[in-house]
Every structure is written in structure tokens, then in C-alpha cells.
Structure 1
Amino acid sequence: MTARYLFQEHFTFTPTGKIWLATNHLPELNGGDQAIWDRVRVVPFLRRFEKEDQDSQLAERLLQELPGILNWAITGFRGWTQIGLGSTEALEIAVAAYREESDQVGRFVRDCCVREPLASVSAGNLRAAYENWAQREGVHPLSAKAVAERLKGLGFSQGKSGAVRSWKGLRLCFPPLVEEPLAPE
């Protein structure tokens, strides 16, 4: 990778780390491509330790077991370098839930549309419904191009009837927010 400090020469280096975030709320990811999700790992911490459940002697007990802990860590490191870091069902479920929640367009389709092979909705009505949904959800709407790419990724296709562009294979599950004149056939 090549980079430079401000107002200095470029230099090349090999990245040697991973970014870890310890957070109460996952960051918003708008990318729907597989490359992003191949890199994301969500480790849910589902256990909460109340004051009465905490071990006040834990530090001393761990120090007594330090040689065994070190051996266990070395064995784990060897396994990791040979076969890599695997996954668990809990991690897979957490990433799948995060991915589903991060898919703005997918959520909009689930919340506001019905998949019907013979149906279509005008692009203007769909955009108006999407922007209204985004406002209600408190999210910044994606660009028309990004929405179109994601809709195509979800299996919908664009069509045109006269001057009116439409999306085939889905309909809004409530009356359109913006009336558009139908083009004569």
C-alpha cells in the first residue's frame, strides 16, 4: 500500500493490523457487495456480569494459572497460523442480521413493497415512497443510482412505458404517494 504524510513524499508499506471496534451500536454500512461482508465479523457479547456475579479475585487466580494460559495461547496461535480463524453459528447469525439491517433498499422493499412477477411501479412513485420511508426510519436516503443498483441486485428490472420509467416485479403495498400520468399504450 502506498501513502504519504501531509506535504511529504510517498512511501510503501504492508498493512499489518485489523480494525477492531468495541461499540454499543454497529456502524452503518451501505455497501451491498460481497467483498465488504467477507471482511466483517460481528462478535456479540451476550453475557452481562452483574456486581454480585463478578469475581473480585480473578486477577490473582489468572496470575496463578499464567503458565497454562500461555501454553493454551501458543497452541491456539499455532492452530490459527495453520488453518486460520474459523467461525461459529453465533457469529454467522450476527453478521447475517447486521447485513440485513444494513441493507436499506432491502428493508424498504420488505417494509413497503410486494414482490409480484407481473406487477410494476413507476420509478417516480417508488423513489417518493423510498424517500418517505427513509425519513420515517431516520436514515439518509441513498442516491437514485445506488437504489437502482441494489434493486437490480435484488432481482428487479427496469422498464419503460412511453415516457414513464418503471420497476418490474414489485408493487407498493399502499397507494402511491405521487400520482404520475400513465403513458398511452
Structure 2
Amino acid sequence: MRTVRTGTAIAAATLAIGAGLALGPAAQANTTQGYIAGGGSVTDDWGDEGLLSSGSHANSNATAVWQWVLWAEGAKESNGTRYDQSDIDCQFGPNTTYATKNLQSRWGLTVDGKVGTQTFGRFDVFMGLGSDGQTITYYGDNFDGYQHKFTLKRISGKYYVQDPGSGKGWKVAYYNSKTAC
């Protein structure tokens, strides 16, 4: 059973506002901005983002963010194994397309292998904002006895992602740039 952190996110956002921390502008879908954007509550940042697929922003840091979701959710790959951290490569190839379809099917969404507003928006509610007003944790499904989660950052309205193993630090979740993998 998944733990939804909506209350935690709202409480943390309220605390941050009360402490005088700026959470940034409201979320706006605009890939021409060049990055995944958000503001205010983290539980409504993603439903208006741009398209990710094998033909749209296929080699990007934004794709890495989606691949982290696939890992956290335990999406299945074409060989039947679960998506793992070594699959996070910033490339929306056949493996990511297959795992996306698997997750869309599990979530009861249109199964097209593309991450559009419906798919992006589905995982909004599983994010929680940290007390620092910048750290965001995504809580995946409890599929193997423990809940997988990963961390993003949102600073001045821009989302940041880390490569799972390179130690390259935090990188802006750009739609047209692949620097995190």
C-alpha cells in the first residue's frame, strides 16, 4: 500500500510560507522554458508539463526524472525484471517506452508509452516537500517489501535531478539537455 504524502507536503509548504521562504511561481507547462518547472504545492507541479517520449525530448535530464519514477514504481521492463537504477540513462529508448506502458497500464491510464499531462499528473500526489522548501521526495509504490523513493530539488521554480551513480551533482531537469547521466 502506497503512502501518500499530500498532507506532509501541504504542512511543509505552510511552514515554509510562514517562515518567509519563497516557493517560487505557480507551475506552468511550457517546454520552451527549457526545464521542468513548478511552484507552490509540489502536488500540482507535474500535470501541466511537456511531452516525453522516444520522439520528444528523448535525450534529456527531464527523461531522467521520469526514469526515476519508473524505478520508484517498480515498472517492469520487456525482459520481465523491474526497472532499476542502472536503467536511468537520460534516454527514452525502447526499455523506457516499455516500462512506461507497463506503468500506465498499472495506473489505469491510456497505454501509449508517452509521458504527457495525464501520466505526468498521475504521480504529482506522491511527492512531499521537505522542511527546507527545496527538497522534494517522490514516494514510489511498495512493491517489494519496502517503499522506493528518490529526491529532487526545486529551486527558484526549476526542478533538479541527480544521476544515480556518477556523482555529477544536481542538474536542472532540462528538456533539451542531457547532463545528468
TM-score normalised by length of structure 2: 0.23
Q: Give TM-score scaled by structure 1 length.
A: 0.22
Q: Tell which structure's C-alpha radius of gyration is larger.
A: 1
